[in-house]
Structure 1
Amino acid sequence: MAKHFLITAGPTHEPLDPVRYLTNRSSGKMGYALAGAAAHEGHRVTLISGPCDLEVPEGVDYLPVETAAEMYEAVSRYIGKAQIAIFAAAVADYRPVNVPEQKIKKTGNTLTLELVKNPDILGSAREVFGYKGTLIGFAAETENVEDNARGKLQRKGCDFVVANDVSRQDIGFNASENEVSLVYANHTEALPKDDKYQLSLEIIKKSLEV
C-alpha cells in the first residue's frame, strides 16, 4: 500500500547580513535520493529542502526553504499529512541573534557573533506537532557514532536513526556513496557502503517495516 512520505533534505542558510550566511557541508544528496527512491516505489513524497544544487526527483512535491525557521514552519504544516517522516536535512543548530540590514564592514581584527539556538525540528515532531506516524532521524557524527545516534533516538522519539561517520572523506557530505547504520532502540543494523540511491531504497523498505 502506498504511503505519504515527508522528507527533509539539504542544509539551511542562516543570514549574517544581506550577503553572508552560516551553513554546513551538506549537499542534500541523501535526502534527494530518499525522495527519489520513495517516489520510484510508488509512494507520495513531500520534499522540504534547504538550498541545494540538485535536480528535484520526478513525481515529488517540492517545497524549497532557506532557514531553519522556515523549515520548521513547513514541517509543522505538512507533517500531519504523512504516514512516514524522514528528517535527512542538516539543519543549522544556531542562527545570529541580530541580522543587520547592511553588509557588515571589515573593521577590527576580530568579529564576535552572538548566536541563538534554532528550533529543534526533529525534537518537535512528537511533542509539539503531535506526530503519530513513523519517525526517522539522521545522525551525522564524527565520534561515538552508534551511542550518539541511540541517544538521539531516545530523546526525540524516533523509530530508528540513520547514523553515519561524516569524518570520513569517502562517504557522507558531498559524496555519492554512504555507509550507514540503522540504530533502533534495542539493536543496530549496519548497511554496507553503497550508492546513496541504493541505500535509500533499503531505508525506504525498512521504514515500511516499522
Structure 2
Amino acid sequence: MPRSSAPPLGVTVPQPYSGARILLGVTGGIASYKTVWLARLLTQAGAEVDVVMTRSAQEFVGAVTFEAVTGRPVHKEIFGPALALDHIRLARESSAICIAPVTAEFLARAAHGNADDLLTAVLLATKAPVLLVPAMNDAMWTHPQTQANLARVKEIGYQVLEPGEGPLAVGEGAGPGRMQEPEVILDHIGRLLRRSGPLSGKRILITAGATREAIDPVRFISNHSTGKMGIAIARSAWARGAEVCIVTGHVDVAIPPQMRRISVDSTEEMRKAVAAELPSADVLVMAAAPADFRPVHPAEKKIKKSQSAPTIALEQTADVLSTTRGARKNGAVIVGFALETDAVLQNGKAKLESKDLDLIVVNDATEEGAGFGVDTNRVSILSRGGKSEDLPLLSKSDVAERLLDRVEDLLSGR
C-alpha cells in the first residue's frame, strides 16, 4: 500500500484483515516511530488494533498518537482499577500479536518468561500466533546473549522477523539491527492470519515489470510498465502463505525481501526463467509486460547522434506463455494479463483461448486511472467457459486480492 494520506477519490481500499483483532506491542526503542505507520496500515487493512505500550515505549511515542491512527484506546498498565484481567482478555481476543520494535531488554524478558508488565503477561497468556520484530544497535544484536535469547523465543514458537541492515541511530553508522519497514511487517502479520488458506504452501510463480531489448549498449526498446500490479499480487500471495518466486524485468517499486527474486533484462531471459520455474509451480501469474519486438541486429557500439537516423529492423520476441506451455505442471492454474487499446474484451478472450489460460485479466490502456504507472486499475477478469467479471476502479492491492480469491477457488476445485 503506498504511503499516501488517503486513497484517490472513489477508489476502494483493500481490507484483507477485516474482522481480525491485532495486538500491537510497542517497546522502548527509537524505531517505535515506525510502529505508528504500521498501526495505520493495519487499521486501513480492516483490522481492529489494540496497542500495548511498555513504560519505556512512552518515552519515545505518546499514546495519543496511536489512539489517533487506530481509533482505539491504548493499553499501558497491568495494575489499576478494572485492569485486573486485562492481560487475559487481550490475550484471548487477539487473532495475532506483533511486537515492534523488540528491544534487547524485552527480548531477554520474553525469552525467560517474565510477566512483570502488561505486554509480557499477555505473551504468557495467549494462544495466538506471535511475531517479534527486533530493532537495536548492531553490537547489541550480535551479542551472544541476544542471539541465545533469539534462539530461545524461536524454540518457544514465536515467529521472528529479523532486522535488516541499514542506517541506525544518529552517530551509530549502519549495520544489522534496523527494524524492517512497516509494509514488510504488515505482510508478515498477514501471513500469520492467513497461514491455513488454500494458497498455504503452494508455489506461485509471478512475473512483473518491463523487459528491455537492446538497440545498442545504451538504448533499448521497452514499455511503461512499473511492476506495481505484479508486485501487489506477489505480496498478497505471500501473505496468504504461498511460497512466491517473482521474475522481474525493470520495476520502479521495491521487491519485498521475503520472496525469491529472479531478475532478467530481455524477453528471452524472462522466457527461460519462467520455463525453468514452471514445472514446480502450482500457479503462474504472468503480470509482466514483455517487449513484443526486438532489433534484429543490435549495434555493438553506441549509435552516434551525428550519424543519419538509422533504420532499425525488428523481429517478434517469443511469447512467454505460449512457448512455455509444455512446462506447465499438471493441474496448475495459469493466469495471463492483457493491456489493450481497442476491442479489449474481444482481444482478451482470444488470448485466453490461444494461450490455454484459466484466467486472463484485461484492461484498457487509454482509461484514466488504469494501466501503467498508477496505483489503481479497472479490470475485467475472463475465465474459461466465457464468464466475464467487470471490477470497479480499485487499488492494485485490491485487484490482487480479488484475483487471488478466484485463483484459490480454482485450486480448491482441482
What's the TM-score, normalizing by structure 2? 0.49
Alpha-carbon offset, residue 130 of structure 1: 4.2
Would you say 1:135 and 2:334 are equivalent positions? yes
Q: Is 1:160 the equivalent of 2:333?
A: no
Measure the CA separation in 1 of the matches of 2:407 and 2:203: 12
Match of 2:252 in 1: 53
Q: Per-residue deviation at 1:169?
A: 3.0
2:348 matched residue in structure 1:
149
Superposition RMSD on alpha carbons, in Å? 1.2
Superposed CA offset, 1:33-74 (max 9, x none): 000110111111100000112111242111111100110110
2:396 pairs, out of 187, 190, 196, with: 196
Q: Report deviation, 1:206.
A: 0.6
Q: What percentage of aligned pairs have identical amino acids?
A: 35
1:208 counterpart = 2:408: yes
Bigger radius of gyration:
2
Of Structure 1 and Structure 2, which has the larger fraction of its residues in strand? Answer: 1
Q: Is the 8 A contact 1:125 1:131 kept in 2?
A: no
| Cα offsets for 1:176-201 (capped at 9, x unmatched) | 00011101132101111111011101
Within 1, Cα distance between the matches of 2:340 and 2:371? 10
Deviations 1:70-96 (A, max 9, x none): 101100100111100000000001111
What's the CA shift string for 1:161-183, capped at 9, x where partnerless? Answer: 00011112321100100011101
- The structure whose RCO (Cα within 8 Å, separation 6+) is larger is 1
Structure 2 unaligned residues grouped into runs of 5+? 1-197
Distance, in Å, in 1 between the alignment partners of 2:329 and 2:323 is: 9
> Counterpart of 2:407 in structure 1: which amino acid?
S
The one-letter amino acid paired with 1:77 is: A
1:77 maps to what in 2? 276
Offset, 1:148? 0.6
Residue 11 of structure 1 corresponds to which residue in structure 2?
A: 210
Provide the aligned length of Structure 1 versus Structure 2: 208
2-side partners of 1:17 and 1:165: how far apart? Answer: 32
Q: Is the CA contact 2:281–2:329 (under 8 Å) kept in the aligned structure 1?
A: no
Query: Could you tell me how far apart the structure 2 residues matched to 1:189 and 1:116 are?
Result: 35
Match of 2:165 in 1: none
Query: Residue 36 of structure 1: which of 210, 235, 238 is its match?
Result: 235
CA distance in 2, matches of 1:77, 1:91: 17
Structure 1 distance, partners of 2:262, 2:328, is 21
User: How many angstroms apart in 1 are the aligned matches of 2:353 and 2:336?
Assistant: 11
1:125 is aligned to 324
Query: Could you tell me how far 1:131 is from its partner in structure 2?
Result: 4.1
Q: Does 1:172 align with 2:401?
A: no
SS for the counterpart of 1:46 is strand
Q: Per the alignment, in what secondary structure is the counterpart of residue 154 of structure 1?
A: helix
Which structure has the highest helix share of the two?
A: 2
Q: Is the contact made by 2:340 and 2:362 (CA closer than 8 Å) also made in structure 1?
A: yes
> 3-state SS of the aligned residue for 1:16?
strand
**1:182 to 2:182 alignment:** no
Q: Give the distance between the partners of 1:145 and 1:130, measured in 2 at CA.
A: 27
1:88 aligns with 2:287: yes
Q: What amino acid is aligned across from residue 359 of structure 2 in structure 1?
A: F
